[in-house]
Each structure stands twice: as structure tokens, then as C-alpha cells.
Amino acid sequence: MGAFDWKSQVVVVTGASGGIGAALARELGKRGASVVLAARRPDKLAEVAATAGSSALTVTADVTKREDVARIAAAAIERFGHVDVWVNNVGRGISRHILDLTDDDLDAMIRDNVKSVLYGMQTIVPHFKERKRGHLLNVSSMLGRIPFAPIRSAYSASKAAMGSLTETLRMELSSGYPDVVVTCVYPGVVSTDFGVNALGGGPDSRSFPGGQSPEDVATVIADAIERRRGGDVYTRPDADERVVGHLRALASGT
């Protein structure tokens, strides 16, 4: 296999108007990819696109609406002829303990963090299967593996559901479509406005000590794309050991 050719890659990034998505769009553009940026805020998208390479395409869309996700794919294929990589990056937090959750709270977490990803999977994977090649990356959270923040109860549950869907799809495609790579990305605390935008408000993620920068997370994701790395990708080097330790503790009843 030859060297990875970034200039031939068409990459869709949802949630690209800020945070991890914006940083990833810039990193991909710097590496030479053609980037399709999707989000709800056209003004912010335009700002990011100006720094994401000369071929960057913006699509104003709400990925909690299936028809909008289909429109993103259609716009990308119309402009570039195909899609090589799709990054489901949209997500939203919540500041509610389990006993305080309402029906609307849980519905919002499923809509924003699970359905948006499902729509992306169902839209782009048939295209990958037709081409017999592609790379799907779903951006989850360490809270989907270890729910250590009780205030993020429904968020953690929704990210766990996303991880399960991702793993199921990976297993489904592994035999018949080995060149369709499926990856779940697990960042920890990232210094973005995630916290202040959570339902119910909450602490600013940028105030936490040791938070990872969006640019660092973007580099990890871009490297995973370049290496066509499937499975689980943790953006911190010790995170996989924490997950294994957590699962062992659960299995032993401690």
C-alpha cells in the first residue's frame, strides 16, 4: 500500500462550526484534504471554511433532521464526485442527575447524540459499500465508557448507545466490506464551550485543569484517518488503560 494521499480525500465533518469540528476541518485542510463542513450556523461555518483549504465546501444543516443529512451527502458528491471519510461530530451535553431527568431531557439527548449519528451512518455507508471503500468516524466521549460525572447522566447514556451502534456496524461490515473502516473516537475533557452549551447550563469545560485542546483532538482524529485505523481511538494515551481497569472492577464486583 502506498503513502496516504490527502489530496485525493473528500472528508465530511459535521458540527464543524466550532470546537473539535472546526479544529478538525482546519487540520484536514492543512493536510490537503477537500473538506465539507456542515453545521447550523452559516456565519461560523464561513469563518472556519476560510481556514480549511481552498476547496472547502460549507453546507448549512441540522443533522438531527434526516433530510438535512441526506442534503450534506448530496452536496459533497455533487461537488467532488464521492465521499471518502465521514465524521459524525455533532453532540450536546446536559446537566441533570438521573433522578432529575425529564422525558424531554432524555429525548433531546437521543435526538442530538444518537439519531444525528444514526442518520449519518445510514446516509453515507451505502455510498461506501457501493465504492467498497470508505471511513466512518463517530466522535463519542470517555463518559460513554466510564460515566464518572453523574451530572452528565443522560449524555453518558447516549454516548454509550452511540458506541454500541458503532461497534455493531463495524461487526456487520467486517466480513463483506473489509475496506469500509469504522472508528469510534473517545475524547476526555476538551477545552471548548461544550459545558456552557449543555442543557441546564453547567461548568465551563475550559475551566477544568488538564483539558485537552480541540487542536490536539483534531490531530488524533486526522492521524486515525491517515492510518485508516478502525476500532476505538482514545485521544489521551492512558485512556484505554482506565477503561480496561473500570471494566475489570465491574466484572469483579468492586
Which residue carries 462550526 as its cell?
Answer: 17
Q: Can you name the residues that pair with 233 across neighbouring β-strands? A: 185
List average pLDDT for each run of 10 residues in the chain, which is 254 residues long. 88 96 98 98 96 96 98 98 97 94 97 98 98 98 94 96 98 97 95 77 70 94 98 94 93 89
Q: Which 3 state secondary structure label does DSSP give 41?
A: coil
Question: What pLDDT does residue 1 have?
Answer: 54
Q: Are strands 34-39 and 10-14 parallel, antiparallel or unpaired?
A: parallel
Contact 87/23 with Cβ under 8 angstroms? no
Residue 138's beta-bridge partner residues? 88, 184
Q: CA 43, CA 49: separation in Å to the nearest integer? A: 10
Residue 42 CB coordination number (10 Å): 14
The Cα–Cα gap between 20 and 127 comes to 25
User: Which residues are marked as active site?
Assistant: 155
Decide: 189 and 212 in contact? Cβ < 8 Å.
yes
Global pTM value: 0.94
Domain spans in the chain, listed from the N-terminal domain onward: 6-252
Q: Does domain 6-252 have CATH number 1.10.540.10?
A: no
